Chain A
Amino acid sequence: MLLMAGIMPLKDLPLVKGRVRREDDLLVIEGYRIPCTQGTAAMVSAALEVTGHLKTDPPYFVFAGDTGRGKGSRQLYQFLIDNLTALQPQVLVLHYWLPVLKLMRDLYEAAVRCSKKPVLIADAGSMYAAKACGLAPEFDVFTPDAAELAFLADPEALHPAYISKHLFETESDRHPELITTAYNNKGASKILLVKGKRDIVAAEDRIIAVIDEPDIPAMECIGGTGDTITGMCAALIYSGMSLEKAAVTSAKVNRMAGLLAGVNPASRIYEVIKRIPAALAQADLNN
């Protein structure tokens, strides 16, 4: 099972779980219709495009509505803590939610209790929580952007809003240094996929790939272009691809989808997601 969890920006959405149906730019689950925008919805939509293309099992989703108060986030943590050992996912993706350190530790303990520890992927608030409670090395993939990489490199920071100024540097020529610092400070997962003008894939302090073509500067403006990478990476790992190759492939396919969509800074993420199947068809997934 590929299990994906995150909050959705709907106040009245209770905890819902199961398979999702797509209707154009909407996700439909248990009768609820969720707009496919930046955040977990974009991550989920991209994963669905990959599993559809590869004809692998679609992901199993757990969502809860949360507009920032944290109630839905806590419901998600608790559901996973209580049910993870029964669900036995091979790959577990944690996405947008309120970082709550105690609950993240409890969730990690639940993952360890599974008969086989799932591949653990975290992005957004769940990545903040995993790093802040010292669990980064136990995770398999983090997908930070430049500011979040600085957060991972700061051994004391609890959130990217509180990082040492000397580490905050979004120019990509400093990324290798920050990656090394993040690994040295145990703030990095096994694989880091750093998203930005140049996407960088690092493993255990070693940069294994830099993806900078096609170069589409407008992609950085579009809310959700990082989320789609996370969703694709997870679905590719679930298909049996190695962590490293999945990271590199998802970064490449994301850029290609942006190119095919002809994006500009005002484009919406759904325009990119629609092009993922065509981008996957162009990508060489076998080598």
Chain B
Amino acid sequence: MFDNVGDAIRAEKILKNNGYHCRLVAPPPALRKGCDLALDINLVEQAAVERLLSDKVSYVAITPLAGTAELINVVQTYRYDGYTMVKAGNMKLTFEDGSGVIVNISGGGCPDIPYLHLELLGRRLDQIPQPRELGHTLCALMLDRAVEGALEIWRGSGKGCC
């Protein structure tokens, strides 16, 4: 959703030029914020849409047509002998406590997750690109939260420095 019609039209052009399916629509009255024009996107592609519009077009919000408007923000931690698993929503990331190296990524269902799995495994938490920058989908956003949670734990342990 956008503050003004011009932004909505510019956003549509950017997304379409980058191969994303979208269309200009009137926002449902219950969700209306800003102007009378919104962009209908595939919500699953939120990570890519945010990246493409950032610094180019200002928007009010990206929100589902129904249900909760907030991304789930529950991060849980599980300890194993020498390893820690961090769950964020439907994504799980496991790192080695001493080295901070990512040893496994599981969960998710969007098509960038197997790719991110290949890209990030075996690399140190503080030396990887953010999954939200590398991925395209909501699962990538969840994985991003898992990485953030893992980094916080690893740095908090005193091992994740320098």
Residues of A participating in the B interface, judged by any CB pair closer than 8 Å: 7-9, 35, 37-41, 66-73, 96-100, 123-128, 145, 147-148, 151, 154, 156-165, 168, 170, 217-218, 220-226, 264-267
Contacts and interface: CB of A to CB of B under 8 A. Distances in A.
Contacts of B142: 160-161
Given A98-B44, A158-B43, A221-B83, A9 B117 contact: yes
A97 B139 CA distance: 12
B85 interface: yes
A68 B67 contact: no
B97 to A, nearest CB: 10
A69 to B, nearest CB: 6
A193 to B, nearest CB: 15
A96 B19 contact: no
8 contacts: A8-B114, A9-B111, A68-B111, A156-B68, A157-B64, A165-B72, A221-B104, A223-B107
B105 interface: yes
B104 A161 contact: no
Interface of B: 19, 42-45, 48, 64-72, 74, 76, 78, 80-83, 85, 87, 89-90, 92, 94, 96, 103-115, 117-118, 135-142
Contacts of A126: 109
A39 B114 contact: yes
A9 B118 contact: yes
Contacts of B19: 69, 71
Contacts of A225: 106
B111 A154 contact: no
Contact of B94 (A37, A147, A221): A221
Nearest to B63: A162
Contacts of A156: 64, 66-68
B115 to A, nearest CB: 4
B106 A124 contact: no
B112 A163 contact: no
A96 B137 CA distance: 13
A37 B43 contact: no
Chain A contact surface mostly:
loop
A226 B91 CA distance: 13
Contact of B67 (A100, A127, A157): A157
A266 B67 contact: no
Contacts of A148: 90, 109
B104 A67 contact: no
B111 A67 contact: yes
A9 B114 contact: yes
Contact of B111 (A35, A97, A162, A226): A97
B83 A265 contact: yes
Given A68-B110, A98-B42, A165 B68 contact: yes
Contact of B66 (A37, A124, A158, A266): A158
Given A67-B112, A73-B111, A147-B87, 6 more contacts: A8-B114, A37-B114, A68-B110, A158-B44, A160-B142, A222-B106
Contact of B115 (A9, A99, A223, A226): A9
Counting chain A CB atoms within 10 Å of each CB, the highest count among B74, B115, B135, B137 belongs to: B115
Contacts of A39: 113-114, 117
A154 B61 CA distance: 22
Counting chain A CB atoms within 10 Å of each CB, the highest count among B70, B106, B142 belongs to: B106
Given A170-B87, A266-B83, A266-B104, A162 B68 contact: yes
B89 A161 contact: yes
A102 to B, nearest CB: 10
B87 A68 contact: no
A37 B106 CA distance: 11
Given A68-B137, A161-B71, A265-B83, A38 B44 contact: no
